[in-house]
């Protein structure tokens, strides 16, 4: 893996902006949104997500599966055998070339739902205001630059389970700001307007509040285009009524954008029979839900895997694989449009209530230093080992560009950027890792990387450590 600041970076980003406007990967038609459902942009048929969560190695052995053609060559045929049309990937390395793997997936008829965060670069549950900074936006914009060209990108997730209990609902304000910034960035760079959404933890007290919050307000850019729920309420041989699925359909019946199960697959009964698939792809749910993704592809420490990875070239298909495959095969999509809703209204914003819902309906402005990315692109991608969560304050955005691409305006704008430090505290010192809820999430790891921008990364480590110690001490007090 090479960092290398190419002297042609400015030219490359300009060419990328031109080519991605129309899309260089045309093997699959883009999926578009109408009302609360997905549709194939060419055939006009309703599209239901039939997918799997895909992050082999988990957070303990973080690997970008879309950056290694050998991994893709091993797994894509297994996806086809399973009958998938989508995978969800939680962490990618934006310094890698993903062309070959994305083409393999497209040739197999498979779309990608991509989380743009990394464990080291995401909105922090502990200090969301500090973590929402220009360096953080650069990392997610660089990931958009890496993937916007592919027509089989179904959507981006701006956050995964950032809200995971009653103590950190204030983080939603900053995630919603990220949704806004991502959508504006894609428009400024002349990219296809790829749907941007949020994947929520199924926290009974606030998951519906989160759904309505992310889908409310007058600013269309700040509203999500899709909503995912990580849901494990159907266990074993349950039913539409017993599992609570019937209640979820009722609760979201008037929601105006597509909803799907961004993770499902309770392991209280093993091997899992996956009988929920029969309801997910039926008219019981099709008027509201647009499919889902089984958690997860590979067997990790949490024991949710469908396959056991043997080595770089082979996997062993477990009984959960066969059971989910059978259910996918036995339960085709509903005929026609599935009774989707075209004209549901956007949600009413939930009111602030201390201890229950503490998200602000007035979003923070984008850090001013990040505005240069709209005109020049994100510049040099920094990879997965680049911590940004405690970089509140000035951002040296000129470091992301080569000398010939750097202008005085970049330097000037970077000096003017600052972000206020949040006074809110959380019950745990953790971040909104891009990894799934069932994989140990990275928080403030300062893992070194050959892709770091010179001494900037090393310089960041000292204040990061002391700041973390201070936060922990204050929490103890």
Active site annotation includes 335: no
Q: What is the predicted pLDDT for the residue at 405? A: 52
| pLDDT for the residue numbered 404 | 57
pLDDT at position 376, please? 96
Distance separating alpha carbons of residues 378 and 144, to the nearest angstrom = 9
Of 111, 85, 37, residue with least CA distance to 328: 85
Q: Is the pLDDT of residue 431 over 90?
A: no
User: Across all residues in the chain, what is the average pLDDT?
Assistant: 84
| pLDDT exceeds cutoff 90 at 177 | yes
Is 139 a member of any domain?
A: yes
In 3D space, the residue among 99, 189, 193 whose CA is nearest the CA of residue 147 turns out to be: 99
pLDDT(304) > 80: yes
Residue 98: domain span: 36-330
Give the CATH number for residue 64: 3.20.20.80
Confidence of residue 72 (pLDDT cuts 50, 70, 90): very high
Range with top average pLDDT, 245-254, 396-405, 466-475: 245-254
Residue 380 has pLDDT above 60, yes or no: yes
Count of structural domains within the chain? 1
| Per annotation, catalytic residue among 42, 45, 161, 276 | 161
Whether 115 and 139 have beta carbons less than 8 Å apart is answered as no
Q: What pLDDT does residue 5 have?
A: 36
pLDDT for residue 53: 98
Q: What is the pTM of this model?
A: 0.84
**For residue 451, what pLDDT is reported?**
32
pLDDT of residue 62: 85
pLDDT-derived band at 50, boundaries 50, 70, 90: very high
pLDDT at residue number 302:
94
Residue 42 annotated among the catalytic residues of the structure: no
Least confident stretch, 16-30, 33-47, 374-388, 429-443: 429-443
Mean pLDDT for 232-241 is 98
Question: Burial letters for 345-374: b for 16+ Cβ neighbours within 10 Å, e otherwise?
Answer: eebebbeeeeeebbbeeebbebbbbbbbbb
How much is the average pLDDT of 68-73? 96
pLDDT at res. 10: 40
Any domain includes 341: no
Domain assignment present for 343:
no
Task: Note whether residue 138 is domain-resident.
Answer: yes
pLDDT tens readout for residues 443-476: 333 333 333 333 333 333 334 444 444 444 433 4
| Catalytic choice (263, 296, 300, 358) | 263
* pLDDT for the residue 311: 82
pLDDT tens readout for residues 27-43: 899 999 999 999 999 99
Q: What is the pLDDT of residue 403?
A: 59
């Amino acid at each position: 893996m090479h960092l290398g600041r190419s002297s042609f970076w400015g030219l490359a980003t300009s060419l990328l902006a031109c080519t991605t406007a129309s899309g260089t990967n045309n093997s699959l038609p883009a999926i578009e949104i109408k009302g609360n459902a997905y549709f194939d942009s060419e055939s006009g048929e309703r599209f239901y997500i039939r997918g799997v969560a895909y992050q082999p190695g988990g957070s303990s052995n973080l690997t970008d599966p879309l950056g290694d053609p050998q991994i893709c060559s091993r797994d894509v045929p297994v996806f086809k055998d399973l009958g998938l049309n989508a995978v969800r990937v939680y962490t990618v390395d934006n310094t890698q070339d993903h062309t070959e793997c994305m083409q393999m997936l497209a040739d197999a008829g498979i779309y990608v739902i991509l989380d743009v965060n990394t464990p080291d670069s995401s909105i922090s549950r502990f200090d969301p205001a500090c973590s929402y900074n220009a360096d953080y936006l650069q990392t997610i914009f660089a990931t958009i630059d890496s993937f916007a060209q592919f027509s089989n990108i179904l959507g981006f997730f701006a956050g995964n389970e950032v809200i995971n209990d009653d103590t950190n609902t204030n983080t939603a304000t900053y995630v919603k700001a990220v949704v806004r910034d991502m959508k504006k960035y894609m428009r400024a760079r002349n990219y296809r307007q790829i749907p941007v959404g949020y994947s929520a933890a199924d926290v009974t007290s606030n998951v519906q509040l989160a759904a309505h919050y992310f889908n409310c307000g007058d600013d269309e850019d700040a509203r999500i285009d899709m909503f995912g729920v990580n849901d494990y309420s159907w266990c074993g041989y349950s039913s539409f009524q017993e599992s609570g699925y019937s209640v979820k359909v009722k609760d979201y019946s008037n929601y105006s954008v597509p909803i799907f199960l961004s993770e499902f697959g309770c392991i209280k009964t093993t091997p899992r029979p996956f009988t929920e698939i029969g309801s997910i792809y039926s008219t019981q749910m099709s008027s509201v839900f647009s499919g889902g993704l089984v958690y997860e592809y590979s067997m990790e420490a949490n024991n949710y895997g469908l396959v056991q990875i043997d080595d770089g070239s082979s996997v062993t298909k477990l009984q959960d694989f066969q059971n989910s495959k059978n259910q996918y095969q036995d339960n085709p999509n509903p005929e026609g449009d599935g009774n989707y809703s075209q004209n549901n209204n956007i949600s009413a914003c939930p009111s602030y209530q201390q201890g229950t819902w503490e998200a602000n309906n007035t979003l923070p402005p984008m850090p001013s230093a990040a505005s240069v990315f709209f005109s020049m692109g994100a510049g040099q991608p920094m990879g997965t080992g680049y911590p940004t969560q405690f970089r509140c304050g000035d951002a040296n955005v000129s470091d992301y560009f080569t000398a010939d691409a750097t202008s005085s305006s970049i330097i000037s704008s970077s000096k003017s950027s600052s972000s206020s430090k949040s006074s809110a505290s959380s019950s745990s010192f953790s971040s909104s890792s891009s990894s799934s809820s069932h994989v140990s999430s990275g928080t403030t790891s300062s893992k070194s990387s050959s892709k770091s921008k010179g001494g900037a990364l090393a310089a960041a480590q000292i204040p990061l450590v002391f700041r973390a110690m201070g936060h922990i001490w204050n929490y103890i007090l």
